[in-house]
């Protein structure tokens, strides 16, 4: 096989795996629901008596009330537009934190009661209203960047909330209560931020305590700042007016989304941004974070990485262990040795003649002679079907296997996949269509050995050579490559589902895991796009569902 014109990447193969019962079928790719990220949010006048245990729904734009919260659009004298971060109290004075870079040359003179010190709230109609004055500022000292703006509010309220999109379907914008602040001591955490210009974006913590050099806003000299770096998910990027905006972690607290403050946006970049950690600001400025519960966190609240062994797998309870879903562990028989090759079930599909089965990775099959496929049913290893079709580096570079299921024994496959919720508990999510993501989009995967892993697509239509045991190898084409940051798949995860999801409401099939490994500083996964697999099979469709077992 001649591949001189294509880039070949040699990786260790991942023997990877999942399963799913559903009604309708779908053959074409569909776009996911559009999520609108607003740049400003109006609050209803019911705010005065809000329930402090719940997020605030901000869709009622007809009855607006004035309130300052993290994510509010602000401007300094001479119209330097920025974003307010978290509310705070400095030695008995209420106010909020934002970036010192908002206070540029000639619009902050630091003398009391001077017009140059004024800070304004930007309204949707283009008007501005004075909401406070500069009270304390630091830029460069100890690597810090912040300004504390004291509130002089008469008809306005300070509320300890931040903007976010916590609902499962991602369509309802809410204000989430700030309950504490959090210090992150290791990379890989998913964090979110809000800017008044671009809105709500999330990413992964890439680096901690890095030094960047930015111009001093007052004299233009280069100044070193100590910040944390976040690598953004997707194609959107923060802009200059988003500087100062809140950075935080969202957590599901018994059904209510709460937020823990991390800091504020200090510098924007291409596909990344930097934030000043809030604990440094609070310590240096003798400032206390204002929270809903008035119980600032001085002890670090640990947020676990979502590893398989740290999660509760509700799908493998005694009542549900007979379900065959996308993400279930399977074993493909090696007919020569009788051993079982561990992998993960991919998405459920239906043949043109109505026979149902599941997809998995082609290299899970040692030889194509209709080997049996097993999984654990009620704690016993049982045959659930046999392999019918295998492609493992064919002339088109395909890599998949179709397993025909014995549905007369255990029923149809469940058209659901597995996702970890914000508390790390694994949940079923129904599959409702297929989707073709673009370069830079975020996708997630599930392997039956290494669990729930998400990352960003960094290459499409890739060609890779995978090494198997015994010195064998194969070449797959048309793959997509995911940067999975500090997490990686491993043996037994091959074949597992790759998807995008809207919370726990629905998932859209993207592909199945083929392999991965370490490339320089990156952990990567390769997946075979679902559309390429369905096109190769010809006439096969995925099985979909509106809901999943409880």
- Taking the whole predicted model, whether its pTM rises above 0.95 is answered as no
Give the whole-angstrom CA distance, residue 434 versus residue 507: 9
Residue-number span of the structural domain to which 62 is assigned: 37-291
Q: What are phi and psi of 154, to 5 degrees?
A: -105, -55
For the chain, which residues score pLDDT lower than 70?
1-66, 78-79, 105-116, 123-127, 152-158, 164-174, 252-256, 293-322, 422-424, 469-471, 550
Residue 455, C-beta contacts closer than 8 angstroms, at least 6 positions apart: 442, 443, 444, 482, 483, 484, 485, 524, 525
Q: Is residue 464 part of a domain?
A: no
Q: Is residue 246 part of a domain?
A: yes
Q: How far is CA 112 from CA 78, 91, 276, 500, in A?
A: 17, 17, 27, 52
The helix/strand/coil state of 272 is strand
The helix/strand/coil state of 317 is coil
Q: Is residue 353 part of a domain?
A: no
Report pLDDT for 150.
Answer: 85
The strand pair at 451-467 and 10-12 is best described as parallel
Burial class (CB in 10 A: 0-12, 13-18, 19+), 505: middle
**Residue from 458, 465, 408, 468 nearest 437 by CA:** 458
Residue 381, C-beta contacts closer than 8 angstroms, at least 6 positions apart: 331, 340, 374, 375
Give the whole-angstrom CA distance, residue 434 versus residue 456: 18
| 489 DSSP 8-state letter | -
Give the whole-angstrom CA distance, residue 427 versus residue 442: 19
CATH number assigned to the domain comprising residue 94? 2.40.10.10
Q: Is residue 391 part of a domain?
A: no
Q: Is residue 370 part of a domain?
A: no
Report pLDDT for 34.
Answer: 26
Residue with tokens 């509760």: 312
Q: Is residue 58 part of a domain?
A: yes
The strand pair at 246-253 and 256-268 is best described as antiparallel
Chain centroid, CA 103 distance in Å: 33
**Residue from 438, 493, 524, 424 nearest 190 by CA:** 424
- For 489-536, the pLDDT digits (tens) are 888 899 999 998 877 788 999 999 999 888 877 889 999 999 999 999
Chain centroid, CA 105 distance in Å: 38
User: Which helix (H) or strand (E) is 533 found in, with range?
Assistant: helix 530-537
155 token code pair: 């008809």
Q: What is the CA radius of gyration of the chain?
A: 26
Report pLDDT for 538.
Answer: 94
Q: Is residue 463 part of a domain?
A: no
Q: How many domains are contained in the chain?
A: 1
Q: Is residue 238 part of a domain?
A: yes
Q: How far apart are the first and last CA of the chain?
A: 49
């Amino acid at each position: 096989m001649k591949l001189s014109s294509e880039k070949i990447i040699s990786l260790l193969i991942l023997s990877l795996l999942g399963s799913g019962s559903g009604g309708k079928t779908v053959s074409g790719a569909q776009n996911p629901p559009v999520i609108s990220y607003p740049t400003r949010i109006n609050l209803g006048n019911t705010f005065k008596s809000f329930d402090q245990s719940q997020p605030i729904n901000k869709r009622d734009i007809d009855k607006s009330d004035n309130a300052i919260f993290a994510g509010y659009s602000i401007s300094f004298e001479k119209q330097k537009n920025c974003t307010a971060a978290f509310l705070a109290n400095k030695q008995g004075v209420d106010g909020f934190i934002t970036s010192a870079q908002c206070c540029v040359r000639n619009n902050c003179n630091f003398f009391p009661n001077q017009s140059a010190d004024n800070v304004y709230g930007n309204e949707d109609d283009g008007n501005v209203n004075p909401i406070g004055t500069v009270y304390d500022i630091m830029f460069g000292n100890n690597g810090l960047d912040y300004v504390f703006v004291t509130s002089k509010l008469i008809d306005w309220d300070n509320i300890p909330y931040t903007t976010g999109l916590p609902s499962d379907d991602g369509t309802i914008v809410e204000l989430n209560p700030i309950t504490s602040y959090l210090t992150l001591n290791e990379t890989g955490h998913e964090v979110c931020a809000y800017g008044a210009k671009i809105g709500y974006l999330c990413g992964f913590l890439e680096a901690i305590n890095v030094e960047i050099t930015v111009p001093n806003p007052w004299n233009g000299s280069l100044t070193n700042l100590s910040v944390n770096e976040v690598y953004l998910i997707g194609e959107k990027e923060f802009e200059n007016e988003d500087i100062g905006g809140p950075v935080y972690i969202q957590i599901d607290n018994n059904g209510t989304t709460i937020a823990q403050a991390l800091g504020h946006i200090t510098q924007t970049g291409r596909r990344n941004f930097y934030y000043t950690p809030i604990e440094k600001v609070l310590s240096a400025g003798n400032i206390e974070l204002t929270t809903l519960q008035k119980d600032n966190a001085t002890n670090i609240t640990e947020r676990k990485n979502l590893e398989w062994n740290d999660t509760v797998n509700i799908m493998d309870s005694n009542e549900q262990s007979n379900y065959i879903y996308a993400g279930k562990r399977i074993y493909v028989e090696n007919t020569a040795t009788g051993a079982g090759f561990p992998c993960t079930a991919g998405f459920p599909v239906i043949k043109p003649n109505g026979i149902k089965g599941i997809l998995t990775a082609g290299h899970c099959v040692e030889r194509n002679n209709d080997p049996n496929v097993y999984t654990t049913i009620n704690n016993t290893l049982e045959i659930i079907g046999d392999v019918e079709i295998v492609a493992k580096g064919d002339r088109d570079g395909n890599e998949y296997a179709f397993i025909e299921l014995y549905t007369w024994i255990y029923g149809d496959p469940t058209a659901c996949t597995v996702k970890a919720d914000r508390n790390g508990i694994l949940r079923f999510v129904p599959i409702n269509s297929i989707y073709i993501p673009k370069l830079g989009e975020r996708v997630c995967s599930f392997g039956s050995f290494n669990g729930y892993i998400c990352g960003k697509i960094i290459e499409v239509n890739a060609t890779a050579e995978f090494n198997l045991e015994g010195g064998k190898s194969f070449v797959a084409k048309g793959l997509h490559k995911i940067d999975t940051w500090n997490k990686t798949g491993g043996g037994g995860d091959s074949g597992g589902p790759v998807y995008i999801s809207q919370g726990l409401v629905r998932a859209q099939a993207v592909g199945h895991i083929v392999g991965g490994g370490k490339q320089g500083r990156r952990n990567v996964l390769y997946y075979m796009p679902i559309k390429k697999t369905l096109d190769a099979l010809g006439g096969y469709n995925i099985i979909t569902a509106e809901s999943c077992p409880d």
